[in-house]
Amino acid sequence: MATIPGDVDADRGPPLSIPLRHFVAALGFLLAGSALGVADAFGVVPGLARLAHLHLLLVGFVCLTIAGAMTQFVPVWSGTALYSRRLARAQLWLIAGGVVAFAAALLTTRPAVLPVGGGLLLAGLWTLAYNVGRTLATARPLDVTERHFAIALAFVVALTALGVVLAAGFVTPVFGAAVARPAAVATHATLAVFGAVLDQLDRVVASEGVAAREHDQLVLAEPPRLVQQRPPLRRREFVGMALGLGVGTTVLARQFTRPCELPHEDERCRRSRASHSVYCKSLPGVAKTVRRPTGNQLQ
């Protein structure tokens, strides 16, 4: 918060305990999803482990982190109060409960529970959309960042509705000749990754860039201070990056030796996407480490 623009009031946001609880829960899902992914790579997890792994990471970790960040960031950026703190607390329990129920149903192969988990996820994410949407409504006219937030919320509403339909498809046939299930799955994934997640990250990065430029102007106006970068921190970054790439490569290699769970998709296509995913996710960490200056730097 030290680099936010000068005309932004940080006190507009809700108590920090609200987003922090989202972040703590998201960290728990990250650990659970990572452990499940490694266990599944060695073939020791029953049920639809890959789908459970995907939803633990993408919904439990990524979306829950974004939900906490939006709850804090949107009121601060827009200069208005959060519409409802009670709804912000409720969305956490609904989303977390939905992820747990959904993943448990996939691992225990109990399809009747999938619509229950999907319904909880829909209720939680729609609560987020309603709460943040009502907050944005008080900030009109919307700037570019706020419009991106509104568009991302619309994608959240659409993808969760489609997700509930897909979950119900495990129990009763809901797709026919007009709309095939693989096409619906691809649409659901596209709305989630490119509509909700990447649109949010793009705006957060852009907003941080604006804040960083204003902060740099303030820093340049002050006498420079010589700061010695700590080499141990740099070594830890390299070790963490190497471990991450090692684990990802091991998991990917194990996945190549196992048949795909979804027979409707081409096996080579799925594995190609998996390999691209592992290494593309590692590129930002590599770029960040390479671009970081060494030795002394002015701050």
> Is-contact 109 48, C-beta < 8 A?
yes
Mean pLDDT, residues 183-188 taken together: 91
pLDDT at 254: 54
What's the pLDDT band for 224 if we cut at 50, 70, 90? very low
Residue 91 within any structural domain of the chain: yes
- Residues 134 and 240 occupy one common structural domain: no
- Residues 280 and 192 occupy one common structural domain: no
Structural domain count, the chain: 2
pLDDT at 88 over 90: yes
150 CB burial (10 A radius; 0-12, 13-18, 19+): middle
Mean pLDDT, residues 190-203 taken together: 76
pLDDT at 284: 52
The two structure tokens encoding residue 85: 């703190």
pLDDT at 15: 87
Share above pLDDT 70 across residues of the chain, in percent, rounded to a whole number: 62
> Is-contact 81 23, C-beta < 8 A?
no
105 vs 92: CA distance, rounded Å: 20
Residue with the bigger pLDDT between 158 and 296: it is: 158
The 10s digit of each residue's pLDDT in 90-145 is 999 999 999 999 999 999 999 999 999 999 999 999 999 999 999 999 988 888 88
- Residues 136 and 247 occupy one common structural domain: no
Residue with the bigger pLDDT between 251 and 299: it is: 251
pLDDT at 263: 47
- Residues 90 and 237 occupy one common structural domain: no
Backbone CA torsion sign across 260, 261, 266, 270: negative
Mean pLDDT, residues 242-258 taken together: 55
The answer to whether the pTM exceeds 0.75 is no
pLDDT at 167 over 90: yes
SS3 2: coil
- Residues 103 and 218 occupy one common structural domain: yes
210 vs 32: CA distance, rounded Å: 35
Mean pLDDT, residues 166-186 taken together: 86
Mean pLDDT for all residues in the chain: 76
Token pair 């459970």 in the structure block, residue: 52
CATH at residue 92: 1.20.210.10
> Is-contact 148 202, C-beta < 8 A?
yes
The 10s digit of each residue's pLDDT in 1-41 is 444 555 555 556 788 999 999 999 999 999 999 999 999 98
- Residues 122 and 63 occupy one common structural domain: yes
Domain extent for 63: 10-222
- Residues 174 and 237 occupy one common structural domain: no
The two structure tokens encoding residue 175: 């797709």
What's the pLDDT band for 245 if we cut at 50, 70, 90? low
The 10s digit of each residue's pLDDT in 145-164 is 888 899 999 999 999 999 99
Q: b or e along 220-252 (b: 16 or more beta carbons within 10 Å of the residue's beta carbon)? A: eeeeeeeeeeeeeeeeeeeeeeeeebeebeebb
3-7, 54-58, 196-200, range with greatest mean pLDDT: 54-58
Residue with the bigger pLDDT between 43 and 23: it is: 23
> Is-contact 163 183, C-beta < 8 A?
no
Residue 4 within any structural domain of the chain: no
pLDDT at 195: 82
- Residues 231 and 217 occupy one common structural domain: no
pLDDT at 95: 97
**Cα-atom radius of gyration of the chain, to the nearest Å?**
21
Please choose, from the candidates 138, 145, 101, 146, the residue with its C-alpha nearest in 3D space to the C-alpha of residue 122: 101
272 vs 68: CA distance, rounded Å: 33
Residue 206 within any structural domain of the chain: yes
> 125 phi and psi, to 5 degrees?
-75, -30
pLDDT at 230: 42
- Residues 177 and 42 occupy one common structural domain: yes
